[in-house]
Amino acid sequence: MKNCSKLTSEQNPTQQTMTKNDPKTSKAKQPQKNERALKGWGQLVIGWMLIQSLLISTPSLSQTKTETKTDKISYSQLIQDIESDRVAKVEIDPKGQTAKVTLKGQGEDEKPQEIPIFKSNLNGELITKLRDNQVPFEISPSADNSAAIGLVTNLIVLFLLFAIFLAILRRSAGASGQAMNFGKSRARFQMEAKTGITFDAVAGIDEAKEELQEVVTFLKQPEKFTAIGAKIPKGVLLVGPPGTGKTLLAKAIAGEAGVPFFSISGSEFVEMFVGVGASRVRDLFKKAKENAPCLIFIDEIDAVGRQRGVGYGGGNDEREQTLNQLLTEMDGFEGNRGIIVIAATNRPDVLDKALMRPGRFDRQVIVDYPDLKGRQGILEVHARDKKVDEEVSLEAIARRTPGFTGADLANVLNEAAIFTARRRKQAITMTEINDAIDRVVAGMEGTPLVDSKSKRLIAYHEIGHAIVGTLCGGHDPVEKVTLIPRGQAKGLTWFTPDEEYGLTTRNQLLARIAGLLGGRAAEEMIFGEDEVTTGAGNDIEKVTYLARQMVTRFGMSELGLVALENDNHDESDYSQEIASKIDHQVRYIVDYCHDKAQKIIQENRNAIDRLVDLLIDQETIEGEEFRQLLEEFKISVEQPLVISR
């Protein structure tokens, strides 16, 4: 049934679009909706007027209810008092249907008592009794304010009715205005982009910053380049992983250039209605031409710039029309002089080739992960507005955070500041920064484990990782071994590289696989194969991935220098025999590294037992302390692993 309904909607797209977008239908429905709303409000107002008229016409009832609570004598008691000659004076209010009774012997400070009287008694029994017993009485009707109250109430109701009617008219006008502006660009516009960010606030990506500083010079001094025949680039594409500073660079360009600045996301072009995205592109560039020279920043351009004709994703026709319009505006028959388009994406592989060619995006600036010097510069920028202790070494933090982006480093310092405030310290110390790094990498700290068999097993598992990784030549050095749970992990072992590796060797990959298998090897050698746990599940996933990469992509197996799989894990067209050989080679590499890990555990059993006891006692062993303890046992690092073919 699901497929049938989908097919029906696709078979007649024209009818579906006309139903949603017919202006006559929408205009016909709008007055009917307003008439129903006005009719409902009119009925509500009429009901309110009837209620308030009823209340005004019977004031005595409400007054009677209020006064009954304070009456001391009743009407029958009043008749008895009149006959007993205890009443000195009576004032009768026929409109209010009350009688104010003053008793004989009553003090001057005491107020007369008010007694409710039915209208039938005013000319009947009460007047007769007063005359027969010669009791002085007066008839003084109260002022009638019901007409004035009714007028004021009606005016208030009419005013409310007018306000509601005016609000309905404004909503109708706003709806029609939104319909007219549906194809307008939603880009945020600043005549002078006061982002508060300059190139001084951008660190860690010096190469990208130098490229974009030329863009600022193009905008400020175009004659410097045009005098010798150079053309201003039309587009700059910022490519890099999330969090590396692409949007920050665009803000810095806007802040430095001081020219009109348009900013929009790629997803804001695409709508479910055909033609809206293209209309918004036209409107955006029309506004940009009126304010040239200027900058247009399109964030996440892959939302609208994907390859045409691939047939995946909803609204494919609309997205392709939007992309076609963008291509035409950037480099078509009409020139866009003085307009520079800056776009950012972390998926350059899915962008259309026509969008990537020179003349549209003339420059592609890679914004990659920062190196050691770059991370230190980023930390210096984010530490300016924080109280950091003088003993804190930003270089040491940078060395401990390889692979961190600028956003990650900013998050580390922010978490450290939160820890500092929670612990009521005056400045951020290395303790808070180390805790912040651990939290960012592995998650929130949990409750320490109770000393038991489970804790000892986890300790052997983590020491197995640490000692195998340390004793395998080419492996990264140990940073920390801890039994304090973080996130889903009951224990953790950190390895931090000494230097920035641009490439990874075969020996390093083998050492990394052996280190990952060190935990499972320790469980098997100490507790037996029947007592192994699920703690090595994540390790085995990483081991399988690395070994398969060595075979199918890096050419580090007997299959030779053949690429059998790509980045998207799509299998190439190879035979079943090759697939069997791939599985055999992957298993061979894993088994070899597993045997090596078991051998290291068996040969260093005494050192492992001593380290486990120390870890259970301290719960954390730092990397430097761990290496010093190994030196006491006179354990030397073995030669790099080599698989004989």
What amino acid positions are annotated as catalytic residues? 462
Element (H, E) at 200: none
| Long-range Cβ contacts of 269-273 (<8 Å, 24+ apart) | 269/303, 269/304, 269/322, 269/326, 270/303, 270/304, 270/315, 270/318, 270/319, 270/322, 271/315, 271/318, 272/315, 272/318, 273/17, 273/20, 273/21, 273/182, 273/318
- Give the C-alpha separation, 438 to 412, whole Å: 9
DSSP state of 204: S
How many other C-beta atoms lie within 10 A of the C-beta of residue 202? 23
Phi first, then psi: what are they for 138, rounded to 5°?
-130, 145
- Give the C-alpha separation, 462 to 516, whole Å: 10
- Say which residue the tokens 């997205």 belong to: 319
Secondary structure of residue 629 in the 3-state scheme: helix
Q: Enumerate residues 6+ apart whose C-beta is below 8 A from 431.
A: none
- Say which residue the tokens 């918004």 belong to: 280
Secondary structure of residue 90 in the 3-state scheme: strand
The pair of three-digit structure tokens given for residue 547, joined into one six-digit string: 């070994």
- Give the C-alpha separation, 403 to 371, whole Å: 8
- Give the C-alpha separation, 558 to 573, whole Å: 19
Distance of CA 76 to the CA centre of its chain: 76
- Give the C-alpha separation, 434 to 536, whole Å: 26
The pair of three-digit structure tokens given for residue 276, joined into one six-digit string: 């809206």
Is 197 within 8 Å of 297 (Cβ atoms)?
A: no
Phi first, then psi: what are they for 75, rounded to 5°?
-65, -40
Secondary structure of residue 186 in the 3-state scheme: coil
Among the listed residues 128, 90, 82, 127, the one whose alpha carbon sits nearest the alpha carbon of residue 112: 90
